[in-house]
Structure 1
């Protein structure tokens, strides 16, 4: 009521001397922050500035999400304001919320003690990156859809030199296909550190043959896919598939590029394109066990298991030491319900490819089918050790732990949310929409920030 009355008085009495400070205070308490700013500007015009007025104006700027102007105010009026804990706190909050903190002097000890216990981002400002990473991971668990948290988390991971994890977080923050602004700059920094930066034309320049060019493109695509940089991985794969060459070496790389595109775009048509390339290769070399094994694996991706089985058996007949064929056949037989046979091939796969996550994951699936939950958990954990950035093995581990009624299932679920976001569980995301923000809290302000409603 006081705020409404103050507004009416100002509207009906333009230019009339009055206690604008009290009007602004009423607006602040009511939440009418922009009206309060108007009152304080009128107060400055009529009464001039004072410590009391400047402090009220700065507080209202922060509450009205005008952090940039607040930072300028506290910086330029530093000598006019008292050197109190409150002023130091508001000045620090303005610098942090405006993004200008890195250009200013270090955060005061008082503000640092206050902030560091609240948010990971603020802990990072004072250089405690490990604790900041832990705190940000917890914040992301609570709000996995907040892109700003993932960007901040990526910055902290860069400081810890965990560039691969940082790229994964940036990919989640920017969406699957859009990189711009701050995310783009951070991505370029991370790719540079991982030596994945540079135009694709440079790879062509240093390649003397189409085969070498295809090999370099394939290496980059695999790395980008591993780190979750989807759009760039798609671009590299597309460039690879557009190479014109009759070389079977190039064609094999192109087939795998289509396979990766199927994973990246979640598009079965890409798997079909990969099968077409393998069919062409097999026309000229029908008894090539490598082509047969890789074709069988793509058929598994298409869930055409009845077709995949004879192809993979033929590959093993030609080359009994093909780890890819054993692993793909393990997956195939598990889905056909023949889990005991699948485990036999899974055993061979992990012996032949002990560092390949898919071998352990597929054997884990066969053990899961046999209700050997402890064995499945062991295999899925080993798959994660081989490839920490692979979400499939982590989801399977959740299922196995849940079957054991193990409390670790919830912890692993939270790890997936932090690393991969809710898109790792698309069905659940549809069933469980994000909870709405609690109303009545000022967003993007010190109060909202510290209360957890940022």
Structure 2
């Protein structure tokens, strides 16, 4: 179970126990025996005669508190403190009363005063420790627990309760080994099941599920009818791979306590995991009815069940109810993100994952999902950054290792993937998915025998695992055993008729065999599991996109649109395929129609913003980004896109505000730091820009773009050698980044190494033929090397693509001068200066042209202006 949900339920459990305690106290008061009533009456009479007697106040406050008369008890303590302000017992009693009414700050202060007045009394330090921990002061709480334990040991030995308290503080601080030492010491003669329950919690955090089961079994030996302990053991058994034992525990709890909400919730989740979605959802609904506190987790679990079955409408309905009850819940946002990913809305999913992480930065599960979503949308470095953080946060949990291994595998980093999967299996030997993934990686490394062993082991441990059969089918297909592969895909579908991947794989296999009807049937079934794909050919088109056949995808999706021309989802999918084919105009036509049909569909509008940006239509792109941000201010991708679009439009101050707001919602995001850094540079804040880019690199050392922009800053301020080093670093991380090659080309040009510059510029042009700045740079390199014709061709090509490129006009002027056409050189410089009035190279080149025309006055004026701008005559 996610940590956040566990903590929330523990808080609710504690509050419930306090409510039960108060109710019990009231019942006790109703049944108070006559001697106690008589004693209270006698104390009242005695106090009337001796109102300043602290012993009388102490006794009556104790009896009143036990009776549930909090106000009366507090009144006695106040009177007691007036008489004996330095009596530690009075301050301690006051702390107990304030804790009862949940005034934790007041209780802490009272216990702190008691401990100051009687530093040798362990009970004061123990009570203070509890309040400090409750208020989040974990280190202060641990210090108080240490003092309480030391004092008790001086007086014959620390009690089990004190050791358990210190162990829980140590657990909260992550010192599990020390916590276990305390609990082992407390276990030697323990008769309180709480000692063993706490030990189980330590083992759970360390992933030692069998030891957790053993500890909870000892706790149940002391309290066999405790449904909470049995439910906890069921969870530990399940995590240890004993689903049968877990189910037996949960069935027993529900049989004896039919309204035990936690057990119903657990059993519902287990039934869903075992494929019994209907029965599982029934249990989850009963859990919600049994306990209002479980309504939200029940709805989230039901949403996940519906999502897995492809019933996206029902899943969304559950989440809609969740967000009414808990608008800012990381777990709910994570589930909605998964739902959006299932429906193809990756941007919306990432926005949900971003918000979930912002709400709970220590929730490693949200970081895993955001990492996977980022990976699927092409943000590889962001994905790995998230998964690295998830591993660091999760401690002894195996899931993050498996998730990170899956993306490392796709990135071709097989050795790292194997290391992660080995660790995942070490932490949880019954982790079937880790075994399956390890088999995939081993096959990629050519270790087919080991891969088969892992798959066999996975199937032995979980013979009904459709995933294991599916992976074996993939392995057989790769080995050329296409019939065996088809048999495995059939087995996977037989085991799980809703297994979309297996259906797609079988459809693909049937398609390759020419069985179009069979393929269509499978893909229709896959589409029915994902209603966001409208119709059979939509699924086939999506499959074609997945395998890189974008032309076929366009054909299939066009046929879908002939049947349903008003399906915005299919329009968006076809637009994606068209973008891959560089058919931006046609893609924009589809996206315009999608937005017209579904004006509230943020995905369609965001895609159009991105397409318009690619097409160079920055003003219209910004309008779409702004619309997305208006409807969803927390939409990170839209805010990020808007910032860069404003930078393209020369509106750096506004872009800076975009990145500032993005960093407030997603702190330390390397991409946003790069954007803010470049915006700061453009508004003149060089120091702040460098600091942002350096911080981005510290957060993600593999983020090539951060090095590129830091290199650009060094280039702009004349630090050419340092700029080159930055571009070297970027290229070492991503050899296909045209910006890195182009930047290094400019650095070499500044360093008077035109041959090296030419090589880098040519590589950049090959990667991005429409980058006019790089074309101009290559033209300058050609010119420096004496190849004037090639230089002229590059300048003309750049200006044909972008007539507003001022340096392209300056380059043409150099060619005209070389060819003895100074008048045309002057006109080209005039055009450049009309575009950028403070462009130093244009003044310098025009000065040379005027001098060639025999006009020294104008030549000197332009030369002076060039010098003002930091340039000297060549």
Q: Same fold (TM over 0.5)?
A: no
Q: Which of the pair is proportionally richer in helix?
A: 2
- Larger relative CO (CA 8 A, sep 6+): 1 or 2? 1
Question: Rg: which structure is higher?
Answer: 2
Q: TM-score, normalised by structure 2?
A: 0.24
TM (norm. structure 1) is 0.43
